[in-house]
């Protein structure tokens, strides 16, 4: 499992972000988009002043999606004809006016969202769930991080464990994730932690989700203004986070954990349907693995010598530890869970004899040399 920040440093960063963030509700007629030297800015015009912010990549994608401008064309205009992009965006801001929530951090627009978007922020989430986690006997936070798009808390319960096979011990756990920028719901997902290699696998089958949808914010629709805390919303959020606390209390479910362990045992008896090189190629196509990730998975598979589905799951989750960043590492942990949940193939097909298996060794070595 890839390591992120310490819990103390995570808390410091979340507090820093709380102090640095700004949120606006704005009619798009009070927004002005302009591009200078290939850098786009968004001006939010309130009654008191005009506020200028740079725009990050995610916010660009959200603006293009909302205005119905294909993102590749959007990028082409930004690079080759910035004035054309400005004209397009500003024209549609005026011709199809609506209220949007503009989320800003460190002087950058980080999200362009609906005015019904419910702000379930990371600091409040941690304040709600950390006491629950610390109160769980045997539980500890194995890894945590805040990225540009998500917060992650990965928790292990050392008291709930089982053997997949002799000496291969796994522990139960869960992952809490949240996005402040509109990339998915607040989720609590089961996690299985393999002690022999410190790999984590996220199982989406039993995930619990809480969506960022709330009431439409009040106020004059034609004004743009900064959003501060709202007592009514704070009470709603308190009730919401109480439900999240209940979800976390029930996150480590022994029955569901043992069902997952049974699937892992079953996977040990499911041979891969192709030679390892071909299997990883198909996996790369299905999950859009990069060339480096493809090489990492193949290398882990080769080192383990396990050509079963269980071996493939472990190769993917092992590759997550050397992923390019924490976000991608978590995606690879989820991929491991998806592979485990795939339908069982028809095992009545003619078995490949040992000579055919030996033929697969040479192409694998070639593939590793190229990776």
Structure confidence by residue, pLDDT tens digits, 332-358: 999 999 999 998 876 444 444 434 433
Report the sign of the C-alpha dihedral through residues 289, 145, 250, 262, in that order: positive
Main-chain phi, psi angles of 79, to 5 degrees: -85, -45
- pTM equals 0.85
- Are the C-beta atoms of residues 82 and 89 closer than 8 Å to each other? no
46 CB contacts (<8 Å, ≥6 apart)? 24, 26, 30, 223, 224, 225, 226
**How many CA atoms lie less than 13 Å away from 366 in the CB half-sphere?**
7
Question: In whole angstroms, what separates CA 186 from the centre of its chain?
Answer: 10
Sheet with 50-55, side-by-side order of all strands:
31-36, 39-45, 50-55, 108-114, 99-105, 21-27, 225-226
Residue pLDDT tens, the chain, 371 long: 999 999 999 999 999 999 999 999 999 999 999 998 789 999 999 888 899 999 999 999 999 999 999 999 999 999 999 999 999 999 999 999 999 999 999 999 999 999 989 888 899 999 999 999 999 999 999 999 999 999 999 999 999 999 999 999 999 999 999 999 999 888 999 999 999 889 999 998 777 877 776 555 555 555 665 665 555 456 667 778 888 888 898 888 888 999 999 999 999 999 998 899 999 999 999 999 999 999 999 999 999 999 999 999 999 999 999 998 999 999 999 999 999 999 887 644 444 443 443 344 334 333 343 34
């Amino acid at each position: 499992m890839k390591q992120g920040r310490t819990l103390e440093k995570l808390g410091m960063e979340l507090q820093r972000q709380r102090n640095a963030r700004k949120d606006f509700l704005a009619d798009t007629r009070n927004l002005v988009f302009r591009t200078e030297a290939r850098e786009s800015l968004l001006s939010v015009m309130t009654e008191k002043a005009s506020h200028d912010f740079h725009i990050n990549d995610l916010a660009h994608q959200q603006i293009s999606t909302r205005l119905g401008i294909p993102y590749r064309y959007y990028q082409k205009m930004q690079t080759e004809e910035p004035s054309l992009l400005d004209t397009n965006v500003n024209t549609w801001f005026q011709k199809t006016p609506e209220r949007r929530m503009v989320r800003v951090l460190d002087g950058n627009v980080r999200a362009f969202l609906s005015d019904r978007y419910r702000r379930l922020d990371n600091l409040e989430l941690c304040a709600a769930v950390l006491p629950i986690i610390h109160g769980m006997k045997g539980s500890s936070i194995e890894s945590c991080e805040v990225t540009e798009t998500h917060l992650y808390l990965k928790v292990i319960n050392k008291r709930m464990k089982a053997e997949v096979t002799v000496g291969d011990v796994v522990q139960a756990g869960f992952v809490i994730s949240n996005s402040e920028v509109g990339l998915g719901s607040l989720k609590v997902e089961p996690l299985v932690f393999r002690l022999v290699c410190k790999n984590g696998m996220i199982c989406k089958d039993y995930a619990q989700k809480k969506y960022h949808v709330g009431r439409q914010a009040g106020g004059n629709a034609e004004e743009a203004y900064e959003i501060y805390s709202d007592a009514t919303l704070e009470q709603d959020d308190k009730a919401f986070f109480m439900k999240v606390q209940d979800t976390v209390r029930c996150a480590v479910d022994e029955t569901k954990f043992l069902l997952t362990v049974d699937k892992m045992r079953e996977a040990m008896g499911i041979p891969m349907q192709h030679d390892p090189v071909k299997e990883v190629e198909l996996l790369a196509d299905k999950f859009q693995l990069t060339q480096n990730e493809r090489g990492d998975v193949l290398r882990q598979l080769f080192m383990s010598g396990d050509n079963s589905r269980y071996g493939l799951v472990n190769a993917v989750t092992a590759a997550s530890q050397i992923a390019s960043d924490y976000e991608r590492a978590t995606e690879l942990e989820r991929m491991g869970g998806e592979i485990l949940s795939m339908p069982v193939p028809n095992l009545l097909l003619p078995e490949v004899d040992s000579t055919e298996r030996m033929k697969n060794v040479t192409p694998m070595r070639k593939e590793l040399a190229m990776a």
